[in-house]
């Protein structure tokens, strides 16, 4: 635990939280994220769940808050992991696109003069400049196409598994409250 100033100026404990760590279940409560992505986990039918009618409103609200907090933290961790995976998968594509940018700059830049001068020995100056630009531009186009294909294979930068999980959570809550 670390301490930090509060608005009133006194120090209060602030817990050290690892965002990647699994969310612990509050004592006595069912972890709302336990069945997410786990085919073996089952949610008991409504007639087998404990009857909360004897609990106080405060206990029910605390349990609800704890479950919602667990659920949200689990979904945020899932989204973070999915986005990290996608970013890592995009590294080769970014390299290819960077290479395409460099070759494109060479096609437009003065470093192509060497190629132009070499071609000047065999072709008229205008033709040699056009051929040099076409060769470097063609290389840039090939790398850009390969990089764009890599980006397409990875997919959009959206945490799709997490979105599906949230949809399933909403459906489960809707089903549990309507029954």
Judged by DSSP in three states, 12 sits in strand
The average pLDDT across 20-27 equals 51
Whole-model pTM over 0.75: no
Mean pLDDT, all residues of the chain: 74
| 130 against 106, higher pLDDT | 130
**If you average pLDDT over residues 122-126, what whole number do you get?**
89
Please tell me the predicted confidence (pLDDT) of residue 142: 93
In this prediction, residues 155-166 reach a mean pLDDT of 78
Which residues contact residue 32 at a Cβ distance below 8 angstroms, ignoring those fewer than 6 apart? 67, 68, 70, 71, 74, 169
**Predicted local confidence at residue 25, as pLDDT:** 46
Angle between helices 57-89 and 91-108 (to 10 degrees): 40
The predicted model gives 122-139 an average pLDDT of 88
pLDDT higher than 70, residue 7: no
Residue 19: the pLDDT is 53
pLDDT value at position 176?
A: 75
pLDDT tens-digit map of 69-115: 888 888 888 888 888 888 888 888 888 989 998 888 877 776 677 88
Interatomic CA distance for residues 138 and 142, integer angstroms: 6
- What phi, psi does 34 have (nearest 5°)? -60, -35
What is d(CA 60, CA 161) in angstroms, rounded to the nearest whole number?
30
Check residue 18 and give its pLDDT: 57
């Amino acid at each position: 635990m670390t301490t930090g100033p509060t608005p009133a100026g006194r120090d209060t404990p602030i817990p050290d939280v690892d965002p990647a760590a699994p969310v612990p279940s509050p004592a006595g409560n069912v972890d709302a994220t336990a069945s997410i992505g786990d085919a073996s986990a089952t949610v008991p039918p409504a007639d087998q769940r404990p009857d909360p009618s004897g609990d106080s409103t405060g206990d029910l609200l605390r349990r609800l808050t704890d479950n919602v907090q667990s659920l949200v933290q689990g979904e945020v961790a899932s989204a973070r992991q999915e986005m990290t995976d996608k970013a890592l998968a995009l590294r080769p594509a970014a390299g290819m696109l960077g290479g395409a940018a460099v070759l494109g700059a060479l096609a437009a830049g003065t470093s192509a003069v060497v190629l132009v001068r070499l071609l000047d020995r065999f072709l008229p100056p205008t033709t040699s400049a056009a051929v040099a630009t076409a060769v470097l531009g063609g290389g840039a186009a090939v790398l850009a196409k390969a990089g764009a294909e890599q980006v397409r294979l990875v997919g959009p930068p959206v945490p799709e598994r997490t979105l599906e999980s949230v949809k399933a959570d909403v459906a489960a809550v809707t089903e549990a409250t309507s029954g």
